[in-house]
């Protein structure tokens, strides 16, 4: 390895450590804040994503955090693997699973470096792709797709791009920017425009099957959404 590679590798490890530690520090308030901020919609969006898993299916959760949705998946009988940079987030998840007598494989590592010989039936990236700059988000999306077996599912619950009338769009932008700036001040996310992941789907050989949106209160502007997508299966013949 050259010196510049050594330096880049060291810088990347230092970055992982810092981000992991920042999320460690956020562990105690993360779930409560997300529940209050979204009025329970973040949880609902993840629950809907998990409802697409069948018993016995192998699912990988990227950036799982404290993993309420991984617990939901394990309850449904899915075979769950979870990856996260934060030891403390995974520790909470381990206790949650233990409390219900459920099992999952928990991996504390950088998801970019995660590889497997056995692609998954489904990969879930919930409120995860949004923590990267665009180039890294696209890289992570492609990586997530590469971990799914052909014909398998990608489940994404996340903030939604602004849509609807202009007041609804402005509300979406202001509301979600408030959260982003707060998280940025805590060193958890970079500042960036909200993404429409669908734009990056064709490159990652993904097609959308379902989208469900979640509004502020009952009829307010759209703030969150769940996307159910499928990885292309080159062997599938159309009859």
Ligand X SMILES: C[S@@+](CC[C@H](N)C(=O)[O-])C[C@H]1O[C@@H](n2cnc3c(N)ncnc32)[C@H](O)[C@@H]1O
**Following CA atoms 124, 102, 105, 231 in sequence, which dihedral angle do they give, to the nearest 10 degrees?**
-30
How many angstroms from the chain centroid is the CA of residue 151?
20
Distance CA 33, CA 22 (A): 16
- Find out whether 109 and 140 touch, Cβ atoms under 8 Å: no
Q: Does 38 bind ligand X (CB under 6 A)?
A: no
Q: Which is nearer to ligand X, 84 or 121 (CB)?
A: 84
Q: Does 138 bind ligand X (CB under 6 A)?
A: no
Q: Which is nearer to ligand X, 35 or 232 (CB)?
A: 35
Q: Which is nearer to ligand X, 83 or 176 (CB)?
A: 83
- Tell me, residue by residue from 84 to 103, as one string, x for binding to ligand X by CB under 6 A and - for no binding: xxx--x--------------
Q: Which is nearer to ligand X, 88 or 230 (CB)?
A: 88
Q: How far apart are the first and last CA of the chain?
A: 51
Q: Does 111 bind ligand X (CB under 6 A)?
A: yes
Q: How many CB atoms lie within 10 A of CB 37?
A: 15
Q: Does 156 bind ligand X (CB under 6 A)?
A: no
Q: How many CB atoms lie within 10 A of CB 10?
A: 10
- Tell me, residue by residue from 112 to 131, as one string, x for binding to ligand X by CB under 6 A and - for no binding: x-------------xxx--x
CB of 172 to ligand X, least distance (A): 18
Q: Which range in 1-9, 59-67, 96-104, 198-206 contacts ligand X by CB under 6 A?
A: 59-67
* Cβ burial 216-237 (10 Å sphere, 16+ → b, else e): beeeebbbbbbbbbbbeeeeee
Q: Does 108 bind ligand X (CB under 6 A)?
A: no
Q: Does 82 bind ligand X (CB under 6 A)?
A: no
| Region at 18 (left for phi over 0; alpha for psi -120 to 50; beta for the rest) | alpha
CB of 145 to ligand X, least distance (A): 16
- Chain positions contacting ligand X, by CB under 6 A: 19, 23, 63-65, 83-86, 89, 110-112, 126-128, 131
């Amino acid at each position: 390895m050259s010196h510049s590679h050594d330096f880049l590798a060291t810088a990347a490890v230092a970055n992982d450590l810092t981000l992991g530690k920042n999320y460690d520090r956020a562990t105690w308030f993360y779930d409560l804040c997300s529940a209050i901020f979204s009025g329970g919609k973040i949880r609902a969006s993840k629950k809907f994503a998990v409802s697409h898993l069948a018993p016995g299916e192998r699912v990988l959760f990227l950036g799982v955090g404290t993993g309420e949705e991984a617990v939901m998946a394990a309850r449904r009988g899915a075979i769950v693997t979870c990856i996260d940079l934060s030891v403390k987030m995974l520790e909470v998840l381990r206790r949650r699973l233990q409390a219900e007598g459920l099992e999952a494989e928990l991996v504390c590592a950088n998801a970019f470096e995660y590889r497997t010989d056995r692609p998954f039936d489904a990969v879930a990236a919930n409120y995860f792709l949004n923590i990267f700059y665009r180039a890294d988000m696209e890289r992570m999306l492609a990586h997530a797709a590469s971990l799914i077996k052909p014909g398998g599912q990608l489940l994404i619950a996340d903030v939604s791009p602004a849509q609807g009338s202009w007041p609804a769009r402005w509300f979406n932008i202001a509301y979600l920017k408030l959260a982003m700036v707060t998280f940025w001040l805590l060193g958890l996310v970079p500042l960036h425009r909200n993404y429409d992941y669908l734009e990056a789907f064709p490159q990652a050989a993904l097609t959308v099957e379902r989208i469900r949106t979640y509004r502020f209160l009952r009829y307010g502007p759209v703030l969150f959404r769940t996307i159910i997508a499928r990885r292309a299966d080159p062997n599938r013949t159309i009859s």
